Amino acid sequence: MNFIPIIYENNEILVINKPAGMSVQGGEKISHPLDEELSKQVGYKIFLVHRLDRDTSGLMVVAKSSAAAAKWIKLIAGKQVKKEYKAICIGLPKGGKTGVITENIEKGGKEKSAFTEYRVEKTFFAEKKDGTGTSEKIPLSLIHLKLGTGRMHQIRIHLAKSGCPIAGDDKHGNFKVNKTLRKIAGVKILQLCSFKLSLSLEGKNKVFEIELPPHMQALLQNSAGKDSAGNDSECNSSAGNNSSGND
């Protein structure tokens, strides 16, 4: 059984940290999905209220009962739960270091509106030198993202359309560059994490934030880069596991 970290619990919900590579829900040819594994771990059935892609890691809300699930599905649909992500991308968005991506996303043959706000936090390079001093160098950026809508694969599609696909995304990204990244930097997993959740609990705003997962920290670690203001800095992960309550 795969252990799933529980960040917070009350009588209605759990806030969990989903590992990359775990499907949220079972189906044909899907083994050990989150809904089954977490139910075994806690000893009772859990109910999904939203989803993350299989290869995306990070914070999720799950419910302890069908009644709680119905309540939190409405809260999420009403944008009462704020989700923030970080991604390591190839290159920079064509719209600049801050902006909003509003490209429509196709679903079921229909165009759906979509809205993603982004801010580039750091730029750096994945680089490997051979014995002759020749190096392969790929420009990368750490991008902070906020969703205005929740379309399937929205972040992955929007970043790819903006010219800076997520590293490790072979479905929507750049397969050729991903192959090079695997060779020079060991990138094998999608570099995308839901690192921050803000929601109302007991009349107060509660913020949950986690460290970036090991596969993203490994790519950032010890990489000299530039922060969003253009200053030299060491690329590192976000703040450690924490939560805070604000009135």
Catalytic residues: 53
Half-sphere exposure of 173 (CA within 13 A, CB side): 26
Q: Residues in the chain, how many?
A: 247
Alpha-carbon gap, residue 113 to 134, rounded angstroms: 45
How many CB atoms sit inside 10 A of residue 231's CB? Answer: 9
Which residue, among 194, 224, 237, has the nearest Cα to 61 in the 3D structure? 194
Q: Report d(CA 136, CA 127) in Å as an integer.
A: 5
What is the three-class DSSP state of 222? coil
Classify each residue of 189-203 as buried b or exposed e, where b means 16 or more C-beta atoms within 10 Å of its C-beta.
bbbbbbbbbbbeeee
What CA–CA distance (Å, rounded) separates 195 from 176? 28
The CB-side HSE value for 98 (13 A sphere, CA atoms) comes to: 4
Between CA 7 and CA 144 the distance in angstroms is: 21
